[in-house]
A and B are shown apart, each in its own frame.
Chain A
Amino acid sequence: MRKIFYKEKLLTVYDKELLKTLKNLGYLNKFKKGKLKCKFCNCIITFGNLHSFFPQSGDIKFVCEKYSCQWKLYDILRERRISI
Protein backbone atom coordinates (compact mmCIF):
# COMPACT_ATOMS: atom_id res chain seq x y z
CA MET A 1 0.00 0.00 0.00
CA ARG A 2 1.70 3.20 -1.18
CA LYS A 3 1.14 6.21 1.05
CA ILE A 4 1.42 9.89 0.27
CA PHE A 5 3.49 11.94 2.69
CA TYR A 6 2.23 15.48 2.94
CA LYS A 7 3.37 18.21 5.28
CA GLU A 8 1.47 20.71 7.38
CA LYS A 9 3.07 24.11 7.84
CA LEU A 10 3.84 25.09 11.42
CA LEU A 11 4.11 28.85 11.79
CA THR A 12 6.81 29.93 14.21
CA VAL A 13 8.46 33.11 15.38
CA TYR A 14 12.06 33.26 16.51
CA ASP A 15 12.97 34.98 19.78
CA LYS A 16 15.23 37.49 18.05
CA GLU A 17 12.47 38.45 15.61
CA LEU A 18 9.64 38.57 18.13
CA LEU A 19 9.73 42.32 18.73
CA LYS A 20 9.94 43.05 15.00
CA THR A 21 6.97 40.74 14.35
CA LEU A 22 4.89 42.33 17.11
CA LYS A 23 5.74 45.75 15.66
CA ASN A 24 4.58 44.63 12.19
CA LEU A 25 1.33 43.40 13.66
CA GLY A 26 0.86 46.63 15.66
CA TYR A 27 1.17 45.11 19.13
CA LEU A 28 4.67 46.17 20.21
CA ASN A 29 3.62 49.16 22.30
CA LYS A 30 1.01 47.15 24.20
CA PHE A 31 3.60 44.42 24.76
CA LYS A 32 6.18 46.85 26.09
CA LYS A 33 3.63 48.50 28.40
CA GLY A 34 2.57 45.10 29.78
CA LYS A 35 -0.94 45.42 28.42
CA LEU A 36 -1.09 42.08 26.63
CA LYS A 37 -2.85 39.36 28.65
CA CYS A 38 -2.99 35.59 28.34
CA LYS A 39 -6.26 34.50 26.74
CA PHE A 40 -6.78 31.79 29.34
CA CYS A 41 -5.37 32.92 32.69
CA ASN A 42 -5.30 36.68 32.10
CA CYS A 43 -1.69 37.03 33.32
CA ILE A 44 0.55 39.68 31.74
CA ILE A 45 2.41 38.41 28.66
CA THR A 46 6.15 39.07 28.84
CA PHE A 47 9.21 38.06 26.85
CA GLY A 48 9.83 35.37 29.45
CA ASN A 49 6.43 33.64 29.39
CA LEU A 50 5.06 33.90 25.82
CA HIS A 51 4.14 30.52 24.34
CA SER A 52 2.16 31.39 21.21
CA PHE A 53 -0.41 33.69 19.66
CA PHE A 54 -3.20 33.53 17.09
CA PRO A 55 -5.69 35.87 15.40
CA GLN A 56 -9.29 35.92 16.57
CA SER A 57 -12.03 38.33 15.44
CA GLY A 58 -9.56 40.93 14.20
CA ASP A 59 -7.55 40.84 17.42
CA ILE A 60 -4.54 38.75 18.50
CA LYS A 61 -4.89 36.33 21.40
CA PHE A 62 -1.73 35.49 23.35
CA VAL A 63 -1.05 32.32 25.33
CA CYS A 64 1.38 32.06 28.23
CA GLU A 65 3.62 29.10 29.01
CA LYS A 66 1.65 27.74 31.98
CA TYR A 67 0.84 24.08 31.33
CA SER A 68 -2.80 24.63 32.16
CA CYS A 69 -2.97 27.34 29.48
CA GLN A 70 -1.13 25.18 26.94
CA TRP A 71 -3.75 22.47 27.52
CA LYS A 72 -6.55 24.91 26.86
CA LEU A 73 -4.80 25.89 23.64
CA TYR A 74 -4.59 22.22 22.59
CA ASP A 75 -8.34 21.92 23.22
CA ILE A 76 -8.96 24.75 20.75
CA LEU A 77 -6.70 23.06 18.21
CA ARG A 78 -8.51 19.72 18.63
CA GLU A 79 -11.84 21.45 18.13
CA ARG A 80 -10.34 23.01 14.99
CA ARG A 81 -11.28 26.55 16.04
CA ILE A 82 -7.73 27.46 15.00
CA SER A 83 -5.28 25.52 12.92
CA ILE A 84 -1.56 25.15 12.41
Chain B
Amino acid sequence: MEVIRYFERKKDFYINMELDIISLIMKGGPPTILISIIFYLLLFPEKAEKITVLLYRLIFKVFKLGEKQIITHDIQARVNEFSKKLSKEIANVEPVGVKVQWISDTQTPKKFFDGNKLVIRMRHHDSQDKNFINASMVFISSVFLRKSKKYMSKSQKKSIDLYVGKKLFEMEKPQIADKFFEDFFSMKTISNEKIMGLIEKYEIIDKVGLIFPILVQELTFFGEKIFYKLNTNDIIKEISAFIDFLKNYAEREIGEQRLKKNFTGVYCRCGIVIIGIGEKVKIGLCEPYVNYIKKIINDKIENIYLIGPATKENINFIKNIIEEVQSKLDVYKYVDKKFKSKIKIKKERKEVNTYLVVLRSKEVKRYIDEEYHKKYINETSS
Protein backbone atom coordinates (compact mmCIF):
# COMPACT_ATOMS: atom_id res chain seq x y z
CA MET B 1 0.00 0.00 0.00
CA GLU B 2 2.76 2.40 1.02
CA VAL B 3 4.59 1.77 -2.24
CA ILE B 4 1.45 2.62 -4.27
CA ARG B 5 0.89 5.81 -2.27
CA TYR B 6 4.54 6.76 -2.78
CA PHE B 7 4.20 6.44 -6.56
CA GLU B 8 0.94 8.39 -6.54
CA ARG B 9 2.64 11.26 -4.67
CA LYS B 10 5.49 11.20 -7.17
CA LYS B 11 3.21 11.25 -10.28
CA ASP B 12 4.36 14.67 -11.50
CA PHE B 13 7.96 13.64 -11.01
CA TYR B 14 7.47 10.62 -13.30
CA ILE B 15 5.73 12.71 -15.99
CA ASN B 16 8.76 15.01 -16.00
CA MET B 17 11.01 11.94 -16.11
CA GLU B 18 9.19 10.72 -19.27
CA LEU B 19 9.87 14.08 -20.93
CA ASP B 20 13.53 13.80 -19.87
CA ILE B 21 13.76 10.34 -21.43
CA ILE B 22 12.30 11.63 -24.74
CA SER B 23 14.79 14.52 -24.86
CA LEU B 24 17.65 12.11 -24.01
CA ILE B 25 16.61 9.83 -26.90
CA MET B 26 16.53 12.81 -29.27
CA LYS B 27 19.98 13.92 -28.12
CA GLY B 28 21.36 10.40 -28.65
CA GLY B 29 20.91 10.77 -32.42
CA PRO B 30 19.73 8.24 -35.04
CA PRO B 31 21.09 5.03 -33.39
CA THR B 32 19.32 5.77 -30.08
CA ILE B 33 16.12 6.77 -31.89
CA LEU B 34 16.24 3.54 -33.92
CA ILE B 35 16.85 1.37 -30.83
CA SER B 36 13.99 3.16 -29.03
CA ILE B 37 11.62 2.58 -31.94
CA ILE B 38 12.54 -1.14 -32.05
CA PHE B 39 12.01 -1.36 -28.28
CA TYR B 40 8.61 0.35 -28.60
CA LEU B 41 7.51 -1.96 -31.41
CA LEU B 42 8.58 -5.02 -29.41
CA LEU B 43 6.47 -3.78 -26.53
CA PHE B 44 3.45 -3.10 -28.77
CA PRO B 45 3.49 -5.76 -31.52
CA GLU B 46 0.08 -4.68 -32.88
CA LYS B 47 1.50 -1.24 -33.70
CA ALA B 48 4.38 -2.98 -35.49
CA GLU B 49 1.88 -5.03 -37.51
CA LYS B 50 -0.01 -1.88 -38.51
CA ILE B 51 3.27 -0.38 -39.78
CA THR B 52 3.98 -3.66 -41.60
CA VAL B 53 0.64 -3.28 -43.44
CA LEU B 54 1.67 0.19 -44.64
CA LEU B 55 5.04 -1.14 -45.84
CA TYR B 56 3.41 -4.02 -47.72
CA ARG B 57 0.92 -1.62 -49.31
CA LEU B 58 3.91 0.36 -50.62
CA ILE B 59 5.61 -2.83 -51.84
CA PHE B 60 2.37 -3.84 -53.57
CA LYS B 61 2.11 -0.50 -55.35
CA VAL B 62 5.62 -0.84 -56.79
CA PHE B 63 6.16 -4.60 -57.25
CA LYS B 64 2.60 -6.03 -57.06
CA LEU B 65 3.74 -8.31 -54.24
CA GLY B 66 2.60 -8.93 -50.65
CA GLU B 67 -1.19 -9.11 -51.16
CA LYS B 68 -1.70 -11.87 -48.60
CA GLN B 69 0.55 -10.15 -46.06
CA ILE B 70 -1.58 -6.99 -46.23
CA ILE B 71 -4.72 -9.01 -45.42
CA THR B 72 -3.01 -11.09 -42.70
CA HIS B 73 -1.38 -8.28 -40.76
CA ASP B 74 -4.33 -5.89 -41.08
CA ILE B 75 -6.73 -8.41 -39.51
CA GLN B 76 -4.26 -9.61 -36.86
CA ALA B 77 -3.19 -6.12 -35.77
CA ARG B 78 -6.72 -4.78 -35.36
CA VAL B 79 -8.38 -7.81 -33.77
CA ASN B 80 -5.46 -8.43 -31.39
CA GLU B 81 -5.26 -4.79 -30.32
CA PHE B 82 -9.00 -4.77 -29.58
CA SER B 83 -8.78 -8.08 -27.73
CA LYS B 84 -5.98 -6.79 -25.49
CA LYS B 85 -7.89 -3.61 -24.72
CA LEU B 86 -11.00 -5.61 -23.93
CA SER B 87 -9.14 -7.86 -21.53
CA LYS B 88 -7.96 -4.78 -19.65
CA GLU B 89 -11.62 -3.83 -19.20
CA ILE B 90 -12.66 -7.29 -18.03
CA ALA B 91 -10.53 -8.58 -15.18
CA ASN B 92 -11.46 -12.25 -15.48
CA VAL B 93 -10.97 -12.57 -19.24
CA GLU B 94 -7.75 -13.84 -20.77
CA PRO B 95 -7.11 -12.04 -24.07
CA VAL B 96 -7.50 -14.25 -27.11
CA GLY B 97 -5.87 -13.10 -30.30
CA VAL B 98 -6.06 -14.27 -33.86
CA LYS B 99 -3.47 -15.71 -36.19
CA VAL B 100 -4.45 -15.78 -39.85
CA GLN B 101 -3.36 -19.01 -41.49
CA TRP B 102 -3.66 -19.65 -45.23
CA ILE B 103 -5.10 -23.06 -46.03
CA SER B 104 -2.79 -23.47 -49.03
CA ASP B 105 0.28 -23.11 -46.81
CA THR B 106 -0.44 -25.89 -44.36
CA GLN B 107 -3.44 -28.03 -45.05
CA THR B 108 -3.60 -31.36 -46.77
CA PRO B 109 -7.08 -32.62 -47.78
CA LYS B 110 -6.90 -35.26 -45.01
CA LYS B 111 -6.00 -32.67 -42.38
CA PHE B 112 -8.84 -30.47 -43.59
CA PHE B 113 -11.50 -33.19 -43.38
CA ASP B 114 -10.26 -34.33 -39.95
CA GLY B 115 -10.13 -30.81 -38.57
CA ASN B 116 -13.79 -29.67 -38.41
CA LYS B 117 -12.55 -26.13 -38.98
CA LEU B 118 -14.12 -23.26 -40.87
CA VAL B 119 -12.26 -21.73 -43.82
CA ILE B 120 -13.08 -18.10 -44.64
CA ARG B 121 -12.64 -16.76 -48.12
CA MET B 122 -10.49 -13.61 -48.34
CA ARG B 123 -10.88 -11.26 -51.25
CA HIS B 124 -8.24 -8.95 -52.75
CA HIS B 125 -7.23 -6.24 -50.27
CA ASP B 126 -9.26 -3.68 -52.24
CA SER B 127 -12.14 -5.34 -50.35
CA GLN B 128 -10.25 -5.41 -47.06
CA ASP B 129 -13.15 -3.89 -45.11
CA LYS B 130 -15.28 -6.87 -46.11
CA ASN B 131 -12.45 -9.28 -45.19
CA PHE B 132 -12.03 -7.58 -41.84
CA ILE B 133 -15.77 -7.68 -41.00
CA ASN B 134 -16.10 -11.34 -42.02
CA ALA B 135 -13.02 -12.43 -40.07
CA SER B 136 -13.97 -10.38 -36.99
CA MET B 137 -17.55 -11.62 -36.77
CA VAL B 138 -16.45 -15.25 -37.16
CA PHE B 139 -13.81 -14.66 -34.47
CA ILE B 140 -16.23 -12.96 -32.03
CA SER B 141 -18.93 -15.61 -32.53
CA SER B 142 -16.59 -18.46 -31.71
CA VAL B 143 -14.29 -16.92 -29.10
CA PHE B 144 -16.08 -14.21 -27.11
CA LEU B 145 -17.75 -15.53 -23.90
CA ARG B 146 -17.21 -19.04 -25.19
CA LYS B 147 -18.08 -20.86 -21.95
CA SER B 148 -20.99 -18.64 -20.94
CA LYS B 149 -22.75 -18.77 -24.30
CA LYS B 150 -23.74 -22.38 -23.57
CA TYR B 151 -26.20 -21.06 -21.01
CA MET B 152 -27.47 -17.98 -22.87
CA SER B 153 -30.50 -17.64 -25.13
CA LYS B 154 -30.07 -17.14 -28.88
CA SER B 155 -31.01 -13.47 -28.67
CA GLN B 156 -28.67 -12.90 -25.72
CA LYS B 157 -25.77 -14.49 -27.63
CA LYS B 158 -26.47 -12.69 -30.89
CA SER B 159 -27.00 -9.31 -29.29
CA ILE B 160 -23.79 -9.43 -27.26
CA ASP B 161 -21.78 -10.52 -30.34
CA LEU B 162 -23.29 -7.70 -32.39
CA TYR B 163 -22.51 -5.20 -29.69
CA VAL B 164 -18.91 -6.35 -29.35
CA GLY B 165 -18.55 -6.27 -33.15
CA LYS B 166 -19.85 -2.73 -33.19
CA LYS B 167 -17.34 -1.70 -30.50
CA LEU B 168 -14.49 -3.36 -32.43
CA PHE B 169 -15.31 -1.54 -35.66
CA GLU B 170 -15.86 1.79 -33.92
CA MET B 171 -12.42 1.48 -32.37
CA GLU B 172 -10.42 -0.02 -35.22
CA LYS B 173 -12.16 1.16 -38.38
CA PRO B 174 -14.71 3.87 -37.53
CA GLN B 175 -15.34 4.47 -41.22
CA ILE B 176 -16.89 0.99 -41.60
CA ALA B 177 -18.96 1.08 -38.39
CA ASP B 178 -21.88 2.64 -40.30
CA LYS B 179 -21.62 0.06 -43.06
CA PHE B 180 -21.60 -2.67 -40.44
CA PHE B 181 -24.75 -1.14 -38.95
CA GLU B 182 -26.46 -1.07 -42.32
CA ASP B 183 -25.47 -4.59 -43.33
CA PHE B 184 -25.63 -6.57 -40.11
CA PHE B 185 -27.24 -4.57 -37.37
CA SER B 186 -30.34 -3.25 -39.06
CA MET B 187 -30.98 -6.46 -40.98
CA LYS B 188 -30.90 -8.54 -37.81
CA THR B 189 -32.17 -6.24 -35.14
CA ILE B 190 -35.08 -4.64 -36.92
CA SER B 191 -36.43 -8.07 -37.72
CA ASN B 192 -35.90 -9.24 -34.15
CA GLU B 193 -37.33 -7.10 -31.38
CA LYS B 194 -35.64 -9.10 -28.63
CA ILE B 195 -32.17 -8.43 -30.04
CA MET B 196 -32.99 -4.78 -30.66
CA GLY B 197 -34.24 -4.39 -27.08
CA LEU B 198 -31.11 -5.99 -25.64
CA ILE B 199 -28.77 -3.83 -27.71
CA GLU B 200 -30.58 -0.72 -26.49
CA LYS B 201 -30.04 -1.89 -22.92
CA TYR B 202 -26.30 -2.49 -23.58
CA GLU B 203 -26.05 1.05 -24.99
CA ILE B 204 -27.49 2.46 -21.74
CA ILE B 205 -25.24 0.30 -19.53
CA ASP B 206 -22.25 1.29 -21.66
CA LYS B 207 -22.92 4.98 -21.03
CA VAL B 208 -21.89 4.51 -17.41
CA GLY B 209 -18.96 2.37 -18.56
CA LEU B 210 -20.18 -0.88 -17.00
CA ILE B 211 -20.87 -3.08 -20.03
CA PHE B 212 -17.48 -4.80 -19.87
CA PRO B 213 -16.29 -4.37 -16.25
CA ILE B 214 -19.57 -5.62 -14.75
CA LEU B 215 -21.92 -7.21 -17.31
CA VAL B 216 -19.39 -9.20 -19.32
CA GLN B 217 -17.34 -9.92 -16.20
CA GLU B 218 -20.38 -11.40 -14.42
CA LEU B 219 -21.31 -13.36 -17.55
CA THR B 220 -17.78 -14.76 -17.57
CA PHE B 221 -18.12 -15.77 -13.91
CA PHE B 222 -21.39 -17.48 -14.91
CA GLY B 223 -19.55 -19.63 -17.43
CA GLU B 224 -16.92 -20.55 -14.88
CA LYS B 225 -19.21 -21.61 -12.08
CA ILE B 226 -21.91 -23.61 -13.88
CA PHE B 227 -20.99 -27.05 -15.13
CA TYR B 228 -23.05 -29.20 -17.46
CA LYS B 229 -26.26 -27.63 -16.20
CA LEU B 230 -28.95 -29.06 -18.42
CA ASN B 231 -31.92 -26.83 -17.66
CA THR B 232 -30.79 -23.45 -18.94
CA ASN B 233 -34.16 -21.67 -18.86
CA ASP B 234 -33.68 -20.46 -15.31
CA ILE B 235 -30.17 -19.26 -16.20
CA ILE B 236 -31.48 -17.38 -19.27
CA LYS B 237 -34.14 -15.66 -17.13
CA GLU B 238 -31.52 -14.74 -14.57
CA ILE B 239 -29.23 -13.23 -17.22
CA SER B 240 -32.17 -11.14 -18.54
CA ALA B 241 -32.98 -9.95 -15.03
CA PHE B 242 -29.34 -9.06 -14.45
CA ILE B 243 -29.19 -7.02 -17.67
CA ASP B 244 -32.32 -5.14 -16.50
CA PHE B 245 -30.77 -4.59 -13.07
CA LEU B 246 -27.68 -2.98 -14.64
CA LYS B 247 -29.79 -0.95 -17.07
CA ASN B 248 -31.84 0.46 -14.18
CA TYR B 249 -28.63 1.31 -12.34
CA ALA B 250 -27.24 3.04 -15.45
CA GLU B 251 -30.40 5.13 -15.76
CA ARG B 252 -30.39 6.31 -12.16
CA GLU B 253 -30.11 9.99 -11.35
CA ILE B 254 -27.16 10.94 -9.16
CA GLY B 255 -28.25 10.87 -5.51
CA GLU B 256 -31.07 8.39 -6.18
CA GLN B 257 -31.09 6.10 -3.13
CA ARG B 258 -34.20 3.95 -3.54
CA LEU B 259 -32.88 1.91 -6.46
CA LYS B 260 -32.09 -1.78 -5.96
CA LYS B 261 -28.32 -2.07 -5.58
CA ASN B 262 -27.91 -5.81 -5.07
CA PHE B 263 -28.65 -8.55 -7.52
CA THR B 264 -29.48 -11.76 -5.70
CA GLY B 265 -30.04 -14.44 -8.27
CA VAL B 266 -29.33 -18.13 -7.87
CA TYR B 267 -26.15 -18.10 -9.96
CA CYS B 268 -25.26 -14.42 -10.04
CA ARG B 269 -25.02 -12.56 -6.76
CA CYS B 270 -23.46 -9.14 -6.79
CA GLY B 271 -23.90 -5.72 -5.29
CA ILE B 272 -23.04 -2.16 -6.23
CA VAL B 273 -21.91 0.18 -3.47
CA ILE B 274 -21.71 3.84 -4.45
CA ILE B 275 -19.08 5.70 -2.46
CA GLY B 276 -18.88 9.43 -2.77
CA ILE B 277 -21.46 10.96 -0.50
CA GLY B 278 -19.91 14.19 0.76
CA GLU B 279 -19.95 14.14 4.53
CA LYS B 280 -18.87 10.55 5.09
CA VAL B 281 -15.92 11.01 2.73
CA LYS B 282 -14.95 14.35 4.28
CA ILE B 283 -14.74 13.02 7.81
CA GLY B 284 -13.38 9.67 6.62
CA LEU B 285 -16.21 7.68 8.15
CA CYS B 286 -15.64 4.14 6.87
CA GLU B 287 -17.74 2.31 9.45
CA PRO B 288 -21.19 2.58 7.75
CA TYR B 289 -19.75 1.24 4.48
CA VAL B 290 -17.83 -1.56 6.20
CA ASN B 291 -20.98 -2.60 8.10
CA TYR B 292 -23.05 -2.51 4.92
CA ILE B 293 -20.51 -4.63 3.03
CA LYS B 294 -20.46 -7.06 5.97
CA LYS B 295 -24.24 -7.32 5.78
CA ILE B 296 -24.32 -8.07 2.05
CA ILE B 297 -21.47 -10.58 2.34
CA ASN B 298 -23.59 -12.36 4.98
CA ASP B 299 -26.41 -12.36 2.41
CA LYS B 300 -24.09 -14.46 0.20
CA ILE B 301 -23.26 -11.68 -2.25
CA GLU B 302 -20.15 -12.87 -4.09
CA ASN B 303 -18.91 -9.80 -5.96
CA ILE B 304 -19.11 -6.26 -4.65
CA TYR B 305 -18.52 -3.35 -6.99
CA LEU B 306 -17.45 -0.21 -5.15
CA ILE B 307 -17.97 2.78 -7.43
CA GLY B 308 -17.28 6.44 -6.86
CA PRO B 309 -15.75 9.60 -8.27
CA ALA B 310 -12.05 9.22 -9.14
CA THR B 311 -10.95 12.13 -6.99
CA LYS B 312 -7.80 11.70 -4.91
CA GLU B 313 -9.78 12.11 -1.69
CA ASN B 314 -12.44 9.57 -2.69
CA ILE B 315 -9.94 7.01 -3.98
CA ASN B 316 -8.06 7.15 -0.67
CA PHE B 317 -11.33 6.82 1.19
CA ILE B 318 -12.31 3.74 -0.86
CA LYS B 319 -8.87 2.24 -0.27
CA ASN B 320 -9.29 2.70 3.48
CA ILE B 321 -12.66 0.95 3.34
CA ILE B 322 -11.11 -1.94 1.42
CA GLU B 323 -8.29 -2.29 3.93
CA GLU B 324 -10.78 -2.50 6.77
CA VAL B 325 -13.09 -4.87 4.92
CA GLN B 326 -10.23 -7.18 4.00
CA SER B 327 -9.03 -7.30 7.60
CA LYS B 328 -12.50 -8.18 8.90
CA LEU B 329 -14.13 -10.31 6.19
CA ASP B 330 -13.33 -13.23 3.92
CA VAL B 331 -13.01 -11.08 0.78
CA TYR B 332 -10.16 -9.97 -1.43
CA LYS B 333 -9.61 -7.09 -3.82
CA TYR B 334 -10.08 -8.62 -7.28
CA VAL B 335 -9.29 -5.58 -9.43
CA ASP B 336 -9.55 -1.81 -9.55
CA LYS B 337 -9.68 0.66 -12.43
CA LYS B 338 -10.35 4.25 -13.41
CA PHE B 339 -12.56 5.10 -16.36
CA LYS B 340 -14.84 7.76 -17.76
CA SER B 341 -18.58 7.35 -17.35
CA LYS B 342 -21.60 9.46 -18.28
CA ILE B 343 -23.81 9.75 -15.23
CA LYS B 344 -27.25 11.38 -15.09
CA ILE B 345 -27.47 14.72 -13.34
CA LYS B 346 -30.86 16.45 -13.61
CA LYS B 347 -31.79 14.27 -16.60
CA GLU B 348 -28.62 15.30 -18.50
CA ARG B 349 -25.66 12.96 -19.00
CA LYS B 350 -22.37 14.36 -17.74
CA GLU B 351 -18.96 12.76 -18.27
CA VAL B 352 -17.08 12.13 -15.03
CA ASN B 353 -13.93 10.27 -13.96
CA THR B 354 -14.96 7.14 -12.10
CA TYR B 355 -13.11 4.70 -9.85
CA LEU B 356 -14.23 1.09 -9.56
CA VAL B 357 -12.99 -1.63 -7.21
CA VAL B 358 -14.21 -5.21 -7.31
CA LEU B 359 -14.23 -7.10 -4.03
CA ARG B 360 -14.75 -10.82 -4.34
CA SER B 361 -15.86 -13.22 -1.66
CA LYS B 362 -13.55 -16.15 -1.01
CA GLU B 363 -16.63 -18.37 -0.81
CA VAL B 364 -17.93 -18.65 -4.37
CA LYS B 365 -20.55 -21.32 -4.98
CA ARG B 366 -20.30 -23.58 -8.00
CA TYR B 367 -23.19 -25.38 -9.69
CA ILE B 368 -22.95 -28.82 -11.23
CA ASP B 369 -25.83 -30.62 -12.87
CA GLU B 370 -27.21 -33.30 -10.52
CA GLU B 371 -27.20 -36.07 -13.13
CA TYR B 372 -23.65 -35.20 -14.19
CA HIS B 373 -22.60 -35.11 -10.53
CA LYS B 374 -24.10 -38.56 -9.84
CA LYS B 375 -22.69 -40.08 -13.02
CA TYR B 376 -19.17 -38.73 -13.05
CA ILE B 377 -18.19 -37.14 -9.76
CA ASN B 378 -19.67 -39.75 -7.39
CA GLU B 379 -18.22 -42.52 -9.55
CA THR B 380 -14.76 -40.98 -9.41
CA SER B 381 -14.86 -40.42 -5.67
CA SER B 382 -16.12 -43.94 -4.86
Q: Which A residues form the contact surface with B (CB < 8 A)?
A: 1, 3-18, 20-21, 24-26, 50-56, 58, 67-68, 70-71, 73-75, 77-78, 80, 82-84
Option from A3, A4, A20, A83 in Cβ contact (under 8 Å) with B117? A83
Answer yes or no: B60 CB below 8 A from chain A CBs.
no
Contact check, B71 vs A13: say whether CB atoms are below 8 A apart: no
Answer yes or no: B351 CB below 8 A from chain A CBs.
no
Contact check, B139 vs A8: say whether CB atoms are below 8 A apart: yes
Q: A74-B141, A75-B154 are in contact. Are A6 and B120 (CB under 8 A)?
A: no
Nearest residue (CB) in A for B145 is: A78
Which 3 residue pairs are nearest across A and B when measured between Cβ atoms?
A74-B141, A7-B97, A77-B142
Contact check, B120 vs A11: say whether CB atoms are below 8 A apart: yes
Nearest residue (CB) in A for B131 is: A12
Cα–Cα, bound, A21→B102 (Å): 10
Contact check, B138 vs A83: say whether CB atoms are below 8 A apart: no
Q: How far is the CB of B191 from chain A (nearest CB, A)?
A: 9
Nearest residue (CB) in B for A6 is: B96
Answer yes or no: B101 CB below 8 A from chain A CBs.
yes
Contact check, B95 vs A84: say whether CB atoms are below 8 A apart: no
Contact check, A11 vs B117: say whether CB atoms are below 8 A apart: yes
What are 10 residue pairs bridging A and B, where the CB atoms are less than 8 Å apart in the complex? A1-B335, A5-B95, A6-B96, A8-B96, A9-B100, A10-B138, A52-B118, A53-B121, A55-B115, A84-B118
Q: How far is the CB of B366 from chain A (nearest CB, A)?
A: 21
Contact check, A9 vs B101: say whether CB atoms are below 8 A apart: yes
Contact check, B118 vs A82: say whether CB atoms are below 8 A apart: yes
Cα–Cα, bound, A28→B266 (Å): 54
Contact check, B104 vs A77: say whether CB atoms are below 8 A apart: no
Selected interface stretch from B180-188, B247-255, B314-322: B180-188
Cα–Cα, bound, A78→B161 (Å): 10
Give the dominant DSSP class at A's interface.
Answer: mixed
Q: A9-B101, A11-B103, A21-B104 are in contact. Are A82 and B141 (CB under 8 A)?
A: no
- Chain B residues with Cβ under 8 A from A16's Cβ? 67
- Chain A residues with Cβ under 8 A from B149's Cβ? 78
Q: A13-B122, A24-B109, A71-B158 are in contact. Are A5 and B141 (CB under 8 A)?
A: no
Nearest residue (CB) in B for A47 is: B121
Answer yes or no: B107 CB below 8 A from chain A CBs.
yes
Q: How far is the CB of B178 from chain A (nearest CB, A)?
A: 16
- Proximity string of chain B (320-355) to chain A, C-beta cutoff 8 Å, 1 when within and 0 when not: 000000000000000100000000000000000000
Contact check, A13 vs B119: say whether CB atoms are below 8 A apart: yes
Option from A6, A14, A52, A78 in Cβ contact (under 8 Å) with B157? A78
Q: A1-B335, A71-B158, A83-B116 are in contact. Are A10 and B187 (CB under 8 A)?
A: no
- Chain A residues with Cβ under 8 A from B107's Cβ? 11
Answer yes or no: B44 CB below 8 A from chain A CBs.
no
Answer yes or no: B20 CB below 8 A from chain A CBs.
no
Answer yes or no: B94 CB below 8 A from chain A CBs.
yes
Q: How far is the CB of A16 from chain B (nearest CB, A)?
A: 8
- Chain B residues with Cβ under 8 A from A25's Cβ? 109, 112
